[in-house]
Amino acid sequence: MARGDQLIRQWKLLHVLSARGGRTIQELMREVKCSRRTVWRDLAVLQVAGFPLMMEQDGREGRYRLIEGPRGTPPVPFTLSELMSLHLGRHLLVPLRGTPVGDAIHTALEKISASLGPVARAFLDGLDQSLSDLAVQTKDSSHAVETLRLLQQAVHDRRTVEAEYHSFGRDAVTARRLDPVHLWYQQGGIYLAAYCHTRRQVLTFALERFRQVRMTEDSFQSPPEFNLDRYLEGSFGLFRGEPVRLALRFSRQVARYVAERQWHPSQSLAPLLTGELEMTLRVPLSPELRRWILGYGKDVEVLEPKALREDIRREWLAALRGAEGRVEKLRLTARKPLRRRRPARGAALTGPDRAASGQRPKR
């Protein structure tokens, strides 16, 4: 069985064991749909991992539950640096506001803050005046709370969903039958990797573009070869495709800025004697890549591939034409030549005036 399936099953066990009254072994077997031996093994793994489990005798059977509260919750000491990081890191939760994940983390941070004394809380609040961690260009996922909950459940239970999804590229809503595999957060938004029954491959879906999601009774086997890092490997941002060799030359003005960052794992940088910078990388040609290149304007030149070079040239020509579809003529206002003022009679000439008049300096 895949390691991911074991973790999901054990995660479900923890949720079941947190319920009031606990569960018997038979009930746990029904909840997670596995054998008695597997349940015993999972309980042992959870105990070794440090989760406080206890068994209470109920007639002939024992009931297992997760201990909650001060006795069962291990104390977690935080250093000042860790508290500062947690306090400032709450700004990163803005895209998850209103979702179960965001609300749970916000509640946890509030509990940590409440456990501090007034002096410590005042100190952390004062950090906002001098330090910030801004989350920019984030998506609002608060309207998709129920969608996220259903997709999380479908990922955990390995259940197929029927969905209506708005495709950004085609600007159309289509009906999809999906096997949700993985949810993740990237670039200010929440995304789903799911096997599409129509396209017969794993695709990426943006949470906020789901118009409707319904969970079916059909189950599916998680693809054992799926790994998010490998799935996104080679992509530039969120767009995936067949990677090609890309060569760019950046001007002196932006060369240092570009060299300070890793834009892609495959990138290779070559500083030139002119102060310019050449970059080569292997990425799929995508709209996101084109927007990134166009953002540098005149400070970047596409060396290869030739097709992308032509695409960028056409983009700039289209921008010059504007909405009316024609190139605006540049109107240059010529400067009027400055009239040379003649010096007054008898006045000495200096500098260029003397040279122009041919007057020799007095000895």
Rounded Cα gap, residues 118 and 346, in angstroms: 85
User: Are residues 157 and 221 both part of a single domain?
Assistant: yes
Rounded Cα gap, residues 290 and 280, in angstroms: 15
- Whether 30 maps to a domain, the answer reads yes
- Whether 359 maps to a domain, the answer reads no
- Whether 34 maps to a domain, the answer reads yes
**Domain total of the chain:** 4
- Whether 172 maps to a domain, the answer reads yes
- Whether 263 maps to a domain, the answer reads yes
| pLDDT in the model for residue 356 | 46
User: Are residues 228 and 251 both part of a single domain?
Assistant: no
User: Are residues 170 and 206 both part of a single domain?
Assistant: yes
- C-beta atoms surrounding 113 within 10 Å: 16
User: Are residues 25 and 60 both part of a single domain?
Assistant: yes
Q: Which residue has the higher pLDDT, 129 or 285?
A: 285
| pLDDT in the model for residue 95 | 60
Structure-block tokens of residue 309: 């070079």
- Whether 344 maps to a domain, the answer reads no
pLDDT at residue 160 tops 60: yes
Residue 333 pLDDT grade (very low, low, confident, very high; cuts 50, 70, 90): very low
CB 202 within 8 A of CB 181: yes
pTM flag (> 0.75)? no
Would you put residue 267 in left (φ > 0), alpha (ψ -120 to 50) or beta?
beta
User: Are residues 286 and 307 both part of a single domain?
Assistant: yes
Rounded Cα gap, residues 90 and 112, in angstroms: 12
User: Are residues 249 and 314 both part of a single domain?
Assistant: yes
- 175: domain CATH number is 2.30.30
CA separation (Å) from 90 to 84, 96, 144, 149, 306?
A: 10, 10, 20, 21, 45
- Going by C-alpha positions, the residue among 209, 13, 186 that lies closest to residue 92 is 186
CB 245 within 8 A of CB 280: yes
pLDDT at residue 152 tops 50: yes
pLDDT at residue 216 tops 90: yes
Among 179, 209, 232, the domain-final residue is: 232
User: 52-66, 165-179, 272-286, 349-363 — which is least confidently predicted?
Assistant: 349-363
- Whether 281 maps to a domain, the answer reads yes
pLDDT at residue 37 tops 60: yes
Residue 109 pLDDT grade (very low, low, confident, very high; cuts 50, 70, 90): confident
User: Are residues 226 and 263 both part of a single domain?
Assistant: no
Q: Calculate mean pLDDT across residues 233-247.
A: 77
User: Are residues 147 and 208 both part of a single domain?
Assistant: yes
- Whether 342 maps to a domain, the answer reads no
Among 166, 200, 232, the domain-final residue is: 232
CA separation (Å) from 74 to 48, 111, 175?
A: 14, 14, 47
CB 21 within 8 A of CB 36: no
SS (H, E, C) 232-272: HCCCECCECCCCEEEEEEECHHHHHHHHCCCCCCCCEEEEC
User: Are residues 56 and 88 both part of a single domain?
Assistant: no
User: Are residues 163 and 208 both part of a single domain?
Assistant: yes
| pLDDT in the model for residue 352 | 45
Residue 33, domain extent: 3-66
